Structure 1
Amino acid sequence: MALKRDPQLDKEAQAWIESVIGEKFPNCPYEDALRDGTILCKLMNKLQPNSIPKYYTEGGGFRSRENISLF
């Protein structure tokens, strides 16, 4: 059984992440913005400075998975 997400909670989470990292999400669905892990790595570095010293902003699926594992 697939769980339904609450769109309001998605908006609140997005607003919180944007306020922490100091930048807006790209103009795409919430889950797509998080998919490559870049925003998550930026978030982690704001919460715990230098916890992810290097992450990838380009490179496709392999690099995205690497970013997620770094997070």
Structure 2
Amino acid sequence: MESISLKLPEDLLETGDRCARALGIPRAEYIRRAIERMNREAEAHARAERMARASRKVRKESMRVNAEFAAIERDPDA
């Protein structure tokens, strides 16, 4: 496992320490979990952005296909 050194504002560190104590875990574990959670959120956001870009690329074609299906639903013999 790698180690890092970082500087945090005093109030952020105090709040983190208080929360870690409330959870019954060491400060380092609390910080690890916070980073893991932020990583998951960042990855989910990036994934959603990629999906949105892909959706915009195929939007016109999707709308055309949806219109065709709507026409078939209105008149199945068309």
TM-score calculated relative to the size of structure 1: 0.33
Normalized per residue, the structure richer in helix is 2
Higher relative contact order, structure no. (Cα contacts within 8 Å, ≥ 6 residues apart): 1
